Amino acid sequence: MTLGGIAGIFLAVVSLTASATVYNVTDFGADSTGKNASTTAITKAIDKASEDYGGVVRFTKGQYLSGPFELKSNITLQFDDDVVLKFLDDPKEYPPLTKLLPNGLTFSLPYTPLIRAFIVRNVVIRGKAILDGNGAPWWKRLPPPNARPQFLFFYQSYNITVEDVAIRNSPMYNIQLIYTDHVLLKGISIKNPPSYVDPGPNTDGINCNPCRYLHVTNVTVDTGDDCVALDADLGDKLMGRWPTEHILIENSHMFAGHGAVSIGSATTAGLRNITVRNCIFNGTDRGLYIKTRRGRGGLVEDIHYHNITMLNIRKEGVAIAAVYNGTDEGMHERNIHWVPIDDTTPFIRNIRYRGIRGNSKLESLFIVGLPERQVLDVILDDFHVQSEKGIFLNQTQHIIINGKEQL
């Protein structure tokens, strides 16, 4: 992502909110004491702002209770400091959702997301507020592999900002971006119980599948699954295969999740031009993780990691696995058989690491490719991660660690 591209995102946000009309949700009947559900009032405020071609939907100081609601284009959801917006946990509030798209196709979800947006432009969610998904009843009611409602859900949207809010206790994914581009996530915090402490898995912090021009900065993620997950799946009839590309993740802290920053395992449409820099990971299962497998296909290339501190990593510090099957034993299999290459064969190449330091319980560096398509051209400079098991390489080519090629 170029500096010009990032600046363009900020300019778009400023132009959206500079002279917008303000719609206080309490003027539409919202209860700021949190005793009564304000779903209808919030929806009315959003609809009115949309009818007037956009504006600021404001939550003044207080506590609010709500069911799910939908955002519209040119809307800023503005929270005053110390606002708490808590969501109802009644499953009847979150029925299966089927959305009719402009081309006549439909998009379906098993549950309505808490806050959703379909094919919108110029949306901002901002303020030092707590957004509480009330996820505990969902985790107990529908443990894995069951689906649950997602928290912030954007589909095929453009120019999205989420800034400063604290997202807590999401039933499932915290932020889900599908076919969405030009997204700024700034100064937010995400917290769910770690899955090895409480039954809160599948609560990915930031999940992108696929997205473009995503800028994540100054965020804190402490959750029960991957802190940041970047995928690029098969595509659909409307959008086709859309790579995940032009991603910048910086100046952020990741705690407790399965992977601090994970790429894959859905890689069919390809992932490229991704930079992660100036971050601290503490207590995640893995630090920097690229995972895929046969059948998922896709080219993963031009990935850059700079100035990362990894502390108390529970498994591998840096891991690349083209044999991912969800088990640690499968990842360490040395006797991988050769199969013919086709368009479902993954290809991982041109990965750069510089200034990676810290410690991990298992291998500091773990790379496993395929005999028919080895992991190619991985260079690590100023790499100093201490571990009990050293490094593990299998089916690789041109791996250089601190200037020395690994044979």
In a domain, 246, yes or no: no
In a domain, 346, yes or no: yes
In a domain, 254, yes or no: no
Instruction: Provide the domain limits for residue 328.
Output: 288-407
Does residue 258 carry a catalytic annotation? yes
Which element (helix H / strand E) includes 60? none
In a domain, 381, yes or no: yes
In a domain, 36, yes or no: no
In a domain, 393, yes or no: yes
**CA dist list (Å): 276 to 1, 4, 364:** 11, 18, 18
Distance of alpha carbon 7 from alpha carbon 164, whole angstroms: 18
Q: Which residue has the tokens 């601090």?
A: 260
Q: Strands 211-217, 244-250: parallel, antiparallel or unpaired by DSSP?
A: parallel
- pLDDT, one tens digit for every residue, the chain (407 residues): 444 444 444 444 444 455 689 999 999 999 999 999 999 999 999 999 999 999 999 999 999 999 999 999 999 999 999 999 999 999 999 999 999 888 788 899 999 999 999 999 999 999 999 999 999 999 989 988 899 999 999 999 999 999 999 999 999 999 999 999 999 999 999 999 887 555 557 899 999 999 999 999 999 999 989 999 999 986 665 566 789 999 999 999 999 889 999 999 999 999 999 999 999 999 999 999 999 999 988 999 999 999 999 999 999 999 999 998 777 766 776 678 899 999 899 999 999 999 999 999 999 999 999 999 999 999 999 999 999 899 999 999 999 999 999 98
What is the predicted pLDDT for the residue at 238? 59
Which element (helix H / strand E) includes 136? helix 136-141
Nearest by Cα to 372 from 398, 392, 346? 346
**Which residues does 373 contact at the CB level (< 8 Å), separation at least 6?**
322, 341, 345, 346, 347
Q: How many domains does the chain have?
A: 1
Length of the chain: 407
In a domain, 88, yes or no: no
In a domain, 122, yes or no: no
Q: Of 182, 215, 246, 258, which one is the catalytic site residue?
A: 258
